């Protein structure tokens, strides 16, 4: 009788632990903001995201600065994707809408026409980087 109670207890404990696991989605849809200014920025941002293992889809809008992703949460997370984008020189906005700035070295590696922090470059692109002012 003690063995039956022990086995049953272990079964219930194992079942309750399993039910508390957070299920990670195979195709999670994520959106966050990334600073950039032109088509070259678009290509760089999307490539950095897609090179992250687990990212299935990435598209960045020049107009809205929104990066839309579909990723496998079992293989990667949003922070990893954001780190890869920061590494290629683009600032991102985290879940709390706080700006995370790329290192100076990474930012300086972008093409001169992609210097989205420079007011002159913004004006050369017809002022399309209105989101850049958010800090």
Token pair of 89, please?
């020189």
Residue-level pLDDT at 21: 55
DSSP string, 53-88: TTEEEEEE-TTT-EEEEEE-TTT--HHHHHHHHHHT
Residue 8 CB-density burial (10 A; 0-12 exposed, 13-18 middle, 19+ buried): exposed
Query: 4 lies in a domain?
Result: no
Query: 95 lies in a domain?
Result: yes
d(CA 34, CA 25): 23
Query: 124 lies in a domain?
Result: yes
Token pair of 100, please?
């995370």
Is 22's pLDDT higher than 70?
no
Domain enclosing residue 67, as ranges: 28-133
Name the domain count of the chain.
1
Query: 6 lies in a domain?
Result: no
pLDDT by residue (tens digit) across 26-79?
888 999 999 999 999 999 999 999 999 999 999 999 999 999 999 999 899 999
Distance of CA 32 to the CA centre of its chain: 6
- Beta-carbon count within 10 A of 88 CB: 18
Is 135's pLDDT higher than 60?
no
Check which CATH number belongs to the domain holding 125 and give it. 3.30.70.100
pLDDT by residue (tens digit) across 75-130?
999 999 999 999 999 999 987 889 999 999 999 999 998 999 888 888 887 754 44
Global pTM value: 0.74
């Amino acid at each position: 009788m003690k063995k039956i109670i022990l086995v049953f207890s272990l079964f219930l404990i194992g079942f309750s632990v399993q039910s508390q696991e957070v299920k990670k989605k195979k195709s999670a849809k994520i959106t966050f903001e990334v600073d950039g200014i032109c088509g070259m920025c678009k290509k760089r941002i999307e490539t950095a995201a897609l090179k992250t293992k687990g990212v299935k889809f990435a598209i960045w809008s020049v107009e809205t600065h929104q990066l839309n992703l579909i990723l496998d949460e079992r293989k990667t997370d949003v922070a990893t994707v954001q780190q890869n984008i920061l590494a290629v020189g683009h600032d991102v906005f985290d879940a709390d809408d706080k700006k995370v700035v790329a290192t100076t070295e990474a930012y300086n590696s972008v093409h001169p026409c992609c210097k989205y922090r420079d007011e002159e470059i913004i004006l050369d692109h017809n002022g399309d980087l209105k989101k850049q002012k958010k800090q």
